[in-house]
């Protein structure tokens, strides 16, 4: 019978309209049955997959991508990008504290009418602080998915300019969009805007833009969620912290989280005899994103080598490579 992780991966791929992944999991299940001696069942599964692929090729117009309900127009199109993520909180590997706080945000958002009847308001202005690759940007996508809202990402490359007053004017335009279209609005790499006022590299235009952001976020009373994410919480202006409803701190995964990340990342081609203890030790200090990429690299190697399972030695190699790269960056 199919393993639980295969069934979950199959359903997740089906729900996400991920045809390539769905096919890969289905064929893997067929290969498993063949190895167990269930030759007839394996052949039937493979035939069903091939028949489905043939039908899809004959009817390429059958599946049409959903038309986004909200698309920035005019000048806003240069300041915001929009997407509709499909990541759920159950898929995230975070500390119980972070999970609890995110659940609290979701609960309050889903009960906003009940709260408003008592003159109360749900949390909707969040500051996410932590090292790169620890799930801050993913959190914005998860909140958007769970609340069935579009995710708007502010583009700092066009938002911040060198011309006097222009950045503040563009920022005001973004906050007007917050009122017009409910969504999750992500200000990623927020330290580029929220640096402490008066630091060595501070400039007058950045100060004006930061002051405008402080005013706008304090005055904002829309129904949208505002999420600012930064890798350098210590560099942020202290005045920013009290403007947010909650400050959530992320860190690199502990041993239990590392093992869960490895199991999730290797589920499609997992080796049933995999010893995770040496892999967990090799991944110590790596971020969630680094571990996920190492798993992806190992599965790509297995596919290219036409191996039915990932090799523990290969996974260890990719983890050590990423650890070495991280150490070289720290020493440089």
Mind listing the domains of the chain with CATH numbers? 1-64 (no CATH), 76-249 (3.40.50.300), 252-323 (1.10.8.60)
**Average pLDDT, stretch 71-90?**
82
* 275 conformational bin, left if phi > 0, alpha if psi -120 to 50, beta if neither: beta
pLDDT digits (tens, 9 = 90+) for 177-225: 999 899 999 998 776 665 544 444 445 666 677 778 888 888 999 999 9
Task: Inform me whether the pLDDT recorded for 314 exceeds 90.
Answer: yes
In this prediction, residue 33 has a pLDDT band, given cuts at 50, 70 and 90, of low
Say which residues have a Cβ less than 8 Å from residue 210's Cβ, sequence separation at least 6: 193, 194, 195, 197, 237
Average pLDDT, the chain: 80
Q: 21-30, 76-85, 143-152, 190-199: which range is least confident on average? A: 190-199
Please tell me the predicted confidence (pLDDT) of residue 183. 94
Closest by CA position to 106, among listed 188, 277, 225, 267:
225
* Separation of alpha carbons 83 and 71, rounded Å: 9
Rounded distance between C-alpha atoms, residue 254 and residue 76, angstroms: 40
Instruction: Name the residue with higher pLDDT: 99 or 67.
Output: 99
Question: Could you tell me what percent of the chain has a pLDDT over 70?
Answer: 71
């Amino acid at each position: 019978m199919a393993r639980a992780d295969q069934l979950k991966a199959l359903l997740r791929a089906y729900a996400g309209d991920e045809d390539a992944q769905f096919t890969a999991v289905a064929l893997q299940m067929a290969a498993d049955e063949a190895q167990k001696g269930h030759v007839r069942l394996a052949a039937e599964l493979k035939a069903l997959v091939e028949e489905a692929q043939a039908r899809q090729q004959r009817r390429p117009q059958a599946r049409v991508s959903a038309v986004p309900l909200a698309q920035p127009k005019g000048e806003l199109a240069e300041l915001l990008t929009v997407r509709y993520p499909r990541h759920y909180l159950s898929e995230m590997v975070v500390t119980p504290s972070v999970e609890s706080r995110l659940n609290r945000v979701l609960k309050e958002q889903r009960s906003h009418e009940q709260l408003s009847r008592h003159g109360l308001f749900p949390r909707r202005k969040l500051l996410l602080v932590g090292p790169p690759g620890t799930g801050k940007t993913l959190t914005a996508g998860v909140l958007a998915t769970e609340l069935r809202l579009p995710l708007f990402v502010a583009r700092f490359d066009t938002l911040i300019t060198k011309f006097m007053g222009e950045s503040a004017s563009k920022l005001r335009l973004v906050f007007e969009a917050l009122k017009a279209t409910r969504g999750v609005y992500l200000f990623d790499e927020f330290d580029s805007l929220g640096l402490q006022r008066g630091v060595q590299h501070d400039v007058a235009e950045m100060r004006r833009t930061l002051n405008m952001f402080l005013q706008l976020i304090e005055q904002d009373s829309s129904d949208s969620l505002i999420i600012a994410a930064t890798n350098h919480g210590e560099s942020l202006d202290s005045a920013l912290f009290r403007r947010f409803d909650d400050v959530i701190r992320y860190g690199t995964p502990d041993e239990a989280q590392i093992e869960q990340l490895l199991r999730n990342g290797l589920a499609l081609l997992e080796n049933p005899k995999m010893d995770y203890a040496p892999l967990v030790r090799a991944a110590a200090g790596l971020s969630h994103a680094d571990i996920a990429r190492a798993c992806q690299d190992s599965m790509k190697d297995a596919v290219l080598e036409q191996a039915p399972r990932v090799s523990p030695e290969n996974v260890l190699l990719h983890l050590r490579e990423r650890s070495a790269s991280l150490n070289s960056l720290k020493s440089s």
